[in-house]
Every structure is written in structure tokens, then in C-alpha cells.
Amino acid sequence: MVQPLKKRAAVLLTDVEAAVQQLRIVEKAEQLSEFEQQLADSQIWVNPNHAQQISRQAAALRSQIQPWQVLQSQARDIVELMELGDASMIPEFEQQITMLETEYQQHHRDILFNGEYDDQPVIIKLSAGAGGTDAQDWAEMLERMYLRFAEQHDWQVELLDRSAGEEAGIKSATYSMHGAYAYGTLRSEHGVHRLVRLSPFNADHLRQTSFALVEVMPKIDQPEAIQLDDKDLRIDVYRSGGKGGQGVNTTDSAVRVTHIPTGIVVAIQNERSQIQNRETALTILRSRLAQLQHEQQAETLADLRTGESASWGAQIRNYVLHPYTLVKDTRTKYEEHDVQAVLDGKLDEFIVHYLSWAAS
């Protein structure tokens, strides 16, 4: 009984330490230490935006590092304790090893986050497609789904821009989300999402098909990460419209940034300050360019093909509420029959299956 347990503990420790090395946990811990030293210096708060950015980066790193540090420490402890050979402890050793093996499996998907930007924060934009009010309602249902998912994973969420529909739902909404492997986790959601249901917005209650586009981009906060040439940008300012109160509508605070080579347009009117809107728009533009560069496998921004920005591309997932209930991913073929649970943020299995499919 003791030898098989010792072997399980040894295999577990080997697997954990291999994952720690593959995930560069030691290197990330050193980076976290540097961030914590910066945050301990009161002078950093002279620039609150910079300090908050460092604080978010530190929190994201901490959530990546700590589970593996704890798991590695516990696996080492159990191996050392078993070497002492106390037979009376065998039932307890077996229970602890089983628990640690389960934790290892839960965190093992971190290894699949090996993309260039997978450990970055994420920007997610939802846009209603064809289908009028039904499509705008569908876009808002997806917005709720992703906000629920973020809440369940203790992510920090910031609203960047939102445009409400005339009758119901939203025309578009853009959020920034910070958490462990945020972009790596949500990149599986990039694409067109299709809903089939009985429409609550027509008198005949007919079956309706609606579409929404979900754009998922790594958040590029540092201007030096994606260099933008001023001659490639056209920046327009205009008066904010729609809801937002008196202050929003009395100044030219809204900003529209056009990246001339690709035709990408980013418009933001969510903040009162024109400067804030400009910085937010440029951050989103850098993020979109990074996503486009990744999609086209282009070495530089100059290599990006014109006219291929954020288009309505492949349909990635179907959500059917009538005549049966089913959510099916068109890439991995993974299915869930509890549609409401998915719309309440239950996306983990879709994400895990996508990561495994993408890595194969």
C-alpha cells in the first residue's frame, strides 16, 4: 500500500514541477515582487492611472502564481512526510494525494495558455447584428452572460462604452476585464453567436434567428507594445449623444479614431473627459491591431492586409431555445443542453474544449 502511494505522490510532484517550469512561475513571481515594491513606494500614487494599472497587473500575476506555489509546496510536503514511513498515516496520505491530484487537474488547463497575449487582460466588444430589436436583445443577453462569467471568476470589470437599443437590448457594449489569463480564457468566444428562439418582440410570437458579434482582444495598455504612427491616425471629436446626463451632451467629449491603413474605427463617448476617451480609444485600437496581427500571422502592422478589420466572420456557436434547447460550438462540437445555465455564465467546459481543440 505504501509503495503505490509513494509512486503517486512522486508522479504528482514531477507533474506539478514540470507545469511550474512551463508556466514560468518563478519568473512571474520575480515580476510580481517588482510590482509590489513599486506599489509600496508612495510616490507611485502621484500618477493614479499608472498605479492602478500596476496594481491590476500585480493582482493578475498573483492569481496565476499562488495556486501553483501552494500546490508545489503541498506536493513536496507529502513526498517528504511519506519518506518518514509512518504506516498509521496511510489513509490520511491517500486522502491528501487524491485532493492534490484533483487540484492539479483543475489548474492543468493553465498550461494551454501559451499564446503571446494569453496572460493579458481582455477587451470584449459585443455588437448586435441582423435582426433588429431581437438582435439587440440577444447582444444584451450575451453581455449579461459574460458579466456573470467574470463575476464567478472574481475578475475586475470596467465598462468602456455602451450604446443602448431604442426598444430593448444594446447596439454595442465594450468592456475591459482583468483576471488570471483573461484573454487566453475568452479568446474562444471571438466570432459570431447565433440565437434561435420564439421572438418576444413580435405579435405572432414567431421563431426568430438573431446574430451578435463578439470581438475578443488582448488589452494592450502600453503604447510601446503596439507602435502607432500619427500619420496613420485620423482623430475626430464630436458631441456625445444619447443617455448620459447633462454633462455628457454639453461638450465635444466623444472621440472617434480611424486607423487609415486598416480602416478600423473606434468611437468612445463613455467618459466626460475628451482626454480619457482618446486614451481609451487608442487602447482599444492597439488591442484590435494586436488581435488582427495575430489572426493574419503578420510580423508587423505594415504587413496587415487592408480591409480585413473586425469583419463578421465565422459563426462559432449556436444557442437554440426552440423547438428544443441546445448550445453547440461549431468548432469543437461540444454541446450543453442546459441553455439557461450557459446564459448564466457557465462557459468553462466550452473554453476547456476549445483550448484542447486549438492545441491539437
User: Based on the domain organization, do 319 and 353 belong to the same domain?
Assistant: yes
C-alpha cell read off for 282: 487608442
pTM score: 0.78
pLDDT tens by residue, 181-209: 999 999 999 999 999 999 988 777 788 89
SS3 145: helix
In a domain, 221, yes or no: no
Long-range contacts of 288-292 (CB under 8 A, 24+ apart): 288/215, 288/217, 288/264, 289/226, 289/228, 289/259, 289/262, 289/264, 290/117, 290/217, 290/218, 290/220, 290/225, 290/226, 291/190, 291/215, 291/216, 291/217, 291/218, 292/262, 292/264
Clarify whether residues 83 and 158 are in a common domain. no
Q: In this structure, are 153 and 294 located in the same domain?
A: no
**13 shares a domain with 33:** yes
Look at residues 150, 180, 218, 155 and name the one whose alpha carbon lies nearest to residue 66.
180
Residue 53 shares a structural domain with residue 173: no
Beta-bridge partner residues of 287: none
List the CATH number of the domain containing 338: 3.30.70.1660
User: Using N-to-C axis directions, what is the helix angle for 48-83 and 25-40, rounded to 10°?
Assistant: 140
318 touches 328 (CB < 8 A): yes
Residue 224 lies in a domain: no
271, 224, 218, 229: which is closest to 248 by C-alpha?
271
Which domain, by its residues, includes 41? 2-111
Shared-domain flag, residues 16 and 103: yes
User: Is the residue at 35 inside a domain?
Assistant: yes
Whether residues 38 and 73 share a domain: the answer is yes
Q: Are residues 95 and 56 in the same domain?
A: yes
- The pLDDT of residue 279 is 87
CA angle, 153 then 158 then 163, to 5°? 120
Residue-wise pLDDT tens for the chain (360 aa)?
578 888 999 999 999 999 999 888 999 999 999 999 999 998 888 888 788 888 888 888 898 899 999 999 999 999 998 887 666 778 888 999 999 999 998 888 888 888 888 988 999 999 999 778 999 999 999 999 999 999 999 999 999 999 998 889 999 999 999 988 999 999 999 999 999 999 988 777 788 899 999 999 999 877 777 888 889 999 998 877 655 444 445 567 889 999 988 888 999 887 668 888 888 899 999 998 888 887 777 777 777 765 544 456 678 999 999 889 999 999 999 999 999 999 999 999 999 999 989 887
Residue 106 lies in a domain: yes
- Considering its fold, how many domains does the chain have in total? 3
